Amino acid sequence: MNHFPTSIWDPEHVARCEALLGPAVCDRLAIYALPPGFVLTVIVPIFNEVATIDVVIERLRETEIPMQIILVDDGSGDGTAERLKAYAGQADIAVISHAMNRGKGAAIRSALDTATGDIVVIQDADQEYDPQDFRYLMQPILQGRADVVYGTRYGHVDRQVSPLWHESVNGLITGLANLSLGVRLNDIETCYKMASRRSWQLIATQLRENRFGIEIELTSRWIRSGMRLVQRPIRYQHRWYAEGKKIGWRDGVAAIACIVRYGLLRQ
């Protein structure tokens, strides 16, 4: 009886796929082996997500990627803090707590001091993003073709159709950011920003934004640092405000202010 490795990242599994499909097809499908000892750090900023956090952690583990999961409770008041106590002490999880809500950017900055993985990525604590897409985002970094990879929700058809206002506002912010930074992104507000730990460390001490302005600041600092940035399509399941979505029009205005600050004024 043939032995079939249980992990999709096992070199034997990849070799079998390449023998059946060919290396070029496997490369297109993001079928590849992970380097020995590889670890992906996943930073999960959390604010009032007691209803979804267990599912998100389960979905992260289902990827079978060796992970360090950093859960940052950003001053939740819905029972999230109590729920996270169940994960304290687990080998693959670190829990950080903020006494009060400080924002997504502050949560990311807190977690970066604890990150030890070869590659670091942000994961929202809702269920809008699918961690199975990590395999596509890691590939250019592991192959030495990129330092930073953005998962874009737009420009392809394998996604839920978003409300017109949501896509229009994102398009406006992304377009203005492109003009100020001299690049051509199509989803600067995506949660899935993945980079080598070196790329994060290069800018970590410069980060200042506490809320969603971190999306603009990260992009600006990576581009100005000469990082090679790649976009790859991801799946996306839009969440409505009644389901707990938190970003609002004020964050859109703040994003434009960040474009001026970090793009035009190059602060």
Residues 11-43 pLDDT 10s: 999 999 999 999 999 999 999 999 999 999 999
User: What pLDDT, in 10s, does the model give residues 125-138?
Assistant: 988 999 999 999 99
Q: Domain check: are 28 and 72 in the same one?
A: no
Strand partners, 208: none
5, pLDDT greater than 80: no
- Range scoring the smallest mean pLDDT among 64-68, 158-162, 213-217: 158-162
Q: Domain check: are 20 and 56 in the same one?
A: no
Compute the distance between CA of residue 8 and CA of residue 26 in angstroms, rounded to an integer: 12
Q: Domain check: are 183 and 60 in the same one?
A: yes
Q: Domain check: are 127 and 56 in the same one?
A: yes
Write down the H helix ranges in the chain. 11-21, 23-28, 53-62, 80-84, 104-112, 134-142, 164-181, 197-204, 214-224, 249-258
Which residue from 152, 183, 176 is spatially nearest to 256, judged by alpha carbons? Answer: 176
Q: Domain check: are 127 and 188 in the same one?
A: yes
69, pLDDT greater than 70: yes
Q: Domain check: are 26 and 49 in the same one?
A: no
Chain position carrying tokens 């590849």: 32
Q: What order of strands is seen across the sheet that includes strand 193-196? A: 93-98, 67-74, 40-46, 119-122, 193-196, 148-152, 229-233
Q: What is the CATH number of the domain that holds 243?
A: 3.90.550.10
6, pLDDT greater than 80: no
Average pLDDT over residues 139-154: 96
Q: Domain check: are 26 and 44 in the same one?
A: no
Domain encompassing residue 19? 1-33
Strand partners, 67: 40
Q: Domain check: are 126 and 144 in the same one?
A: yes
Residues 6+ apart with CB under 8 A from 236: 128, 129, 153, 159, 160, 162
CA atoms within 13 A on the CB side of 215: 24
Number of domains in the chain: 2
pLDDT of res. 204: 96
Q: What is the DSSP letter of 162?
A: P
Average pLDDT over residues 133-145: 97
Amino acid code (one letter) for 258: C
Q: Domain check: are 25 and 142 in the same one?
A: no
Measured distance between the N- and C-terminal CA atoms of the chain, rounded to whole angstroms: 63
Q: Domain check: are 151 and 74 in the same one?
A: yes
Q: Domain check: are 43 and 21 in the same one?
A: no
Mean pLDDT of the chain: 90
How far is residue 79 from each of residues 46, 49, 82, measured CA to CA in Å?
A: 12, 9, 5
SS3 169: helix
pLDDT of res. 2: 43
pLDDT of res. 3: 46
- Range scoring the smallest mean pLDDT among 153-162, 181-190, 228-237: 153-162
User: What pLDDT, in 10s, does the model give residues 98-121?
Assistant: 999 999 999 999 999 999 999 999
93, pLDDT greater than 50: yes
CB-count burial class (<10 Å; 0-12, 13-18, 19+) for 126: buried
Query: Which tokens hold the place of 255?
Result: 């994003």
CB-count burial class (<10 Å; 0-12, 13-18, 19+) for 3: exposed
Q: Domain check: are 167 and 87 in the same one?
A: yes
1, pLDDT greater than 50: no
